[in-house]
Amino acid sequence: MQFDVLILGAGIVGSACALECARAGMKVGIVEPNVPANGASAAGMGHIVVMDDSPAQLALSRYGRELWQQMRQALPATVEYEQCGTLWVAADEEEMQEVHAKQRTYASVGVETEILDAQALEHAEPQLRKGLAGGLRVPGDGVIYPPAAARFFLDEAIRLGATLLRGVLPVAAAQGRVKLQDGSGLSAGAIVIATGVNTSLVPWITVQPRKGHLVITDRYPGFVRHQLVELGYLKSAHKLTADSVAFNVQPRQTGQLLIGSSRQYSDAVPDVDAAILRRMLDRASEYLPRISELSAIRVWTGFRAATPDKLPLIGPTPDRSVFLAMGFEGLGITNAPGAARLVGDYLLGREPAIDRTPFLPGRALKQAEAMRA
Amino acid sequence: MSMRWDVLIVGAGPAGMAAAVAASRGRLRVAVLDDNAAAGGQIWRRGLGETAEPAKQKMLHAFKECGAVLLAGRRVVQAPEPGVLEAWCDETNVLERYHYDRLILATGARERFLPFPGWTLPGVMGAGGLQALVRGGYDVRGKRVVVAGTGPLLMAVAAHLKHDGAKVVAICEQASMARMLPFAAQLAKKPSKILQAVALGANLRGVSYKTGCWPVAAIGNGRLQHVELTDGRRRWTEQCDLLACGFHLVPNLELPLLFGCRVENDAVAVNAMQQTSVAGVYCAGEPTGIAGVDAALLQGEIAGLAAAGNTGGAEKLVARSKAERAFGEAMTSAFRLRDEVLRLCDANTIVCRCEDVSYGSLKALADEKNNWTDAKLLTRCGMGPCQGRVCGPAVEALFGWKNASVRPPVFPVPIAAFITEPQSEFDNQQALQEMQ
């Protein structure tokens, strides 16, 4: 079969890319060996958040959030989009200084925020323990249920003529050809690899699986109102080697709470790790003391696709027919629509809305060469 | 000092108690975990309207005297490594850790519910669930009750409700008389079962027992007022206050799956010694195939003897156990669901109550060749607090989607269970002292 573009991987990023290309009138094929959106898209929280850990990430996540907000009316109810806002919680005065710095960063790119003092924080989230210093509210952030969003993108792409090739495993992708495990092949003008943590088709890039744990509770409507994240989260998220936990709790539209987060590089098995789960929930109960009384109905793990420099790989490769859209770490949900636009921009020769050079996959090749040298 | 139980049994119903009694004959350290407050399981649940069945009284007495320790009010949550399981104790709010050499899973069965329009109305209840409520003190005196569904439980429940003062309007059994005849022939070979049937029949004198008849819809304004019934040719309504509904039993497979036991034909695969595919793990009673209390008692005894190393003693029971299994197979065949009861839902009928998932949304996914993983991911069917215990068997019957894996926690537990270190030997020692 001949396609204009073949998307490998039907997670939220691949599905968003498929929809972008189908909207542009391309003949699109999507190859998914498993259940669509069954990887990180199913395992993650679904937090749509502007992150300011680097200027490039700030630009991409701000762009992604804006695109989510624009399509909000078109999303089906199953996506459960809730613009609950993020509340970055400052434990002490030192973290309160960071709140001010963070506000300035957000203001520089036009992201609205609001500083809460201790009293305002208590009023906003009465379940938080007393004695916290304050926080930064980012009202434009939100939460979604990612598998439903990914499937919506996929179904829309199919409605516009895209073909889903389900249950087939690609084993090689080069020069406009995708070889499948059964020996057959597919051809396309362009190939977009969106296989998340799986780098078997592009072994020259470095994407490390970064294991995370999540717990979901029974329904407790109103227990928390914002996605609550400790300000120390970035410190935790940026440790490149050691296992870490951070307080990160999300209210679902159903009244359930999602409780995170943990980050482990060393652990490649999907089993629940009792020791880190204990640390993670202990951390959550430091901020929300009564959370320990709530009923947990499920615990699971997933793997984030982490790149060495914390930025995703979006764009062309030395093989001019092959493009990447992978390595999104914990921000694949937020960044999927922006990444899909950038991929579309490359394929259609459009001018991108943001600087796309920081995401060029070539840097991973250079890193790999540097490591070999 | 660390202590291990020689034989740890999960479930204190007939199979678990029989296993404990048999294993304790070998002077072994035996403990039984159960999530209820007392031994007896679902079938011999204690409370109001208890019957003085001789088999039950005999077993409860033997269990009390055998020296095994009953650890009641414990729900098994996870099995972190071979030879270890962890259970949540509601009374103490502690996650307890148990070490064992051999494990016997006697986790019983639960009722299967099938969705139909109106089944979520207040007043529509599980047949066994209503019986348990009545034993707990729920007053049914003067209430008009229709008992519907399939399986021998319907008659037992109806007899109990009638005894407690309910007006049982009708018992509607979906299986046809023709289907049930071979099962009746099996019954006729067993004097004890004939006695049970005669006793039930005597209690149910004056109650209409209709075969080949099933509910189509429960109707009412905010609560049940009528049930619409059919025999496949005509439809009629019965006015009633309660509809006790159950479609036979399905094995509780969560723990066998957690421990990695092989499941075949919807039941745990065991050899003649009740040994599962996992070394040191035995399974007895309904999880190995629905076959009733006599089968459970025998299988429990075999498992208990085998786990205690007395295979000679166990082998003597194998022939009788096989006969009971044949009885179970005849029963399963007699009460097989007819196609019509799998076509009762309309698009808006709720299938998963925890997550408000409608039949229509699942049907649309099934029609597009999606599997159970897709359905769970996209609708969250079976992912609420009951963890699919209610809708799982219905979804399997309706769409053929099987739940093949279990993730801890097997039961919902407070977050605290994961924060504190599990307590182990101290409690076991204390239990041992109580035992001595």
Please give the share of chain A, as a percent, with pLDDT higher than 70. Answer: 95
CATH topology identical between B4-110+250-316+422-435 and B113-248 = yes
Put simply, the answer to whether B417 touches A217 (Cβ < 8 Å) is: no
With 50 as the cut, is the pLDDT of residue B1 above it?
no
Residue B189 has pLDDT above 80, yes or no: no
> Which among B374, B408, B415 has CB closest to A272?
B408
Q: Which architecture characterizes domain A2-46+146-206+309-372 according to CATH?
A: 3-Layer(bba) Sandwich (3.50)
Q: Which residues of A touch B408 (CB under 8 A)?
A: 272, 299
CB-based contact, A214 to chain B, within 8 Å: no
pLDDT greater than 60 at residue B427: no
Quick one: pLDDT at residue B104? 98
pLDDT band at B13 (very low <50, low <70, confident <90, very high): very high
Of the candidate ranges A61-65, B60-64, B203-207, the one whose mean pLDDT is the lowest = B203-207
CATH number belonging to the domain at A83-140+207-305, selected among 3.30.9.10, 3.40.50.300, 3.40.50.1100, 3.30.2130.10: 3.30.9.10
Which two structure tokens, joined as six digits, stand for A290?
A: 């009564």
pLDDT top residue among B292 and B42: B292
Is A278 in Cβ contact with B418 (below 8 Å)?
yes
Whether the pLDDT of residue B429 is over 60: the answer is no
- CATH number of B4-110+250-316+422-435, picked from 3.40.50.620, 3.40.50.300, 3.40.50.2020, 3.50.50.60: 3.50.50.60
Q: How far apart are CA A35 and CA A12, in angstroms?
A: 12
Predicted confidence at residue A238, as pLDDT, reads: 60
Distance from CA of A55 to the nearest CA of B (A): 34
d(CA B400, CA B371): 9
Look up tokens 């499948």; give the residue: A180
- Residue B78 contacts residue B408 (beta carbons within 8 Å): yes
Strand partners, B192: none
User: Least CB-CB distance to A281: which of B377, B379, B418?
Assistant: B418
- The DSSP letter of residue A351 is P
pTM of structure: 0.91
Q: How does pLDDT run across B293-334, given as a tens digit for each residue?
A: 999 999 999 999 999 999 999 999 999 999 999 989 999 999
- Out of B371, B379, B413, the one facing A296 most closely (by C-beta) is B413
Q: Say whether B417 and A297 touch across the interface (CB within 8 A).
A: no
Assign B48 a pLDDT band (cuts: 50, 70, 90): low
pLDDT at site A372: 64
H helix runs in B308-358, sequence order: 311-315, 318-334
Q: Is A213 on the interface with B (CB under 8 A)?
A: no
Do the Cβ atoms of A256 and A296 come closer than 8 Å? Answer: no
Mean pLDDT score of chain B, rounded to an integer?
Answer: 91
Out of A272, A274, A294, name the one closest to residue B415 (CB).
Answer: A294
With beta carbons under 8 A apart, name residues in chain A contacting B421: 278
Which residues of chain B are at the A interface, by a Cβ-Cβ cutoff of 8 Å?
80, 355, 371, 373-374, 377-379, 383-385, 387, 407-409, 412-419, 421
Chain A nearest-CA residue for B418: A278
Measured distance CA(B336)–CA(B340) in Å, rounded: 12
10-residue mean pLDDT series, chain A (373 residues): 95 98 98 95 96 96 98 96 97 95 96 98 98 97 97 98 96 97 96 96 92 96 97 67 90 95 88 93 97 95 94 96 97 98 98 97 76 63
Determine how β-strand B214-219 pairs with β-strand B84-89: unpaired
Chain A residue closest to B378 (CA)? A148
* pLDDT of B47: 66
Q: Do A292 and B408 touch (CB under 8 A)?
A: no
What is the predicted pLDDT for the residue at B196? 72
The per-residue pLDDT for A267 is 79
Q: Give the mean pLDDT of B42-47.
A: 77
Task: State the pairing for strand pair A86-90/A47-48.
Answer: unpaired
Interface test with B, best of A38, A144, A299, A300 (most B CBs within 10 A): A299
pLDDT of residue B271: 97
d(CA A181, CA B43): 52
Substitution target from B356, B377, B381, B407 for chain A, most A beta carbons within 10 A: B377
ipTM: 0.90
Indicate the domain borders of chain B. Answer: 4-110+250-316+422-435, 113-248, 340-399
Q: What is the mean pLDDT of residues B24-39?
A: 92
Give the tens place of pLDDT for each residue, B218-273.
999 999 999 999 999 999 999 999 999 999 999 999 999 999 999 999 999 999 99
Q: Which two tokens stand for residue B253?
A: 């497979």
Contact A293 B415 (CB under 8 A): yes
**Phi and psi at residue A154, in whole multiples of 5°?**
-65, -50
| DSSP E strand boundaries for chain A | 2-8, 28-32, 47-48, 86-90, 114-117, 134-138, 142-143, 163-166, 170-174, 177-180, 185-193, 208-219, 227-230, 244-251, 256-263, 295-306, 313-316, 322-326
- From the candidate CATH numbers 3.20.20.450, 1.10.3720.10, 3.50.50.60, 1.10.3470.10, the one assigned to the domain spanning B113-248: 3.50.50.60
> What pLDDT digit, counting tens, does each position of B114-126 carry?
999 999 999 999 9
- Tell me whether strands A295-306 and A208-219 are parallel, antiparallel or unpaired: antiparallel
In Å, how far is A170's CA from the nearest CA of chain B? 21
Query: In the prediction, which pLDDT does A5 show?
Result: 98
Percent of chain B with pLDDT over 90: 75
Q: What residue spans define the domains of chain A?
A: 2-46+146-206+309-372, 83-140+207-305
pLDDT of residue B182: 81
Reported as a pLDDT band with limits 50, 70 and 90, residue B432 is: low
CB contact under 8 A, B407 and A298: yes
Q: How far apart (Å, rounded) are the C-alpha atoms in residues A291 and A271?
A: 23
- Check CB contact under 8 Å for A42 and B377: yes
Q: Residue B415: which of A37, A291, A298 has the nearest Cβ?
A: A291
* φ/ψ (deg, to 5) at A363: -65, -30
* Per-residue pLDDT tens over the stretch B341-357: 999 999 999 999 999 99
To which H or E segment does residue A57 belong? helix A55-71
Burial B118-143 (b: 16+ CB within 10 A, else e): bbebebbbbbbbbbbbbbeeeebeeb
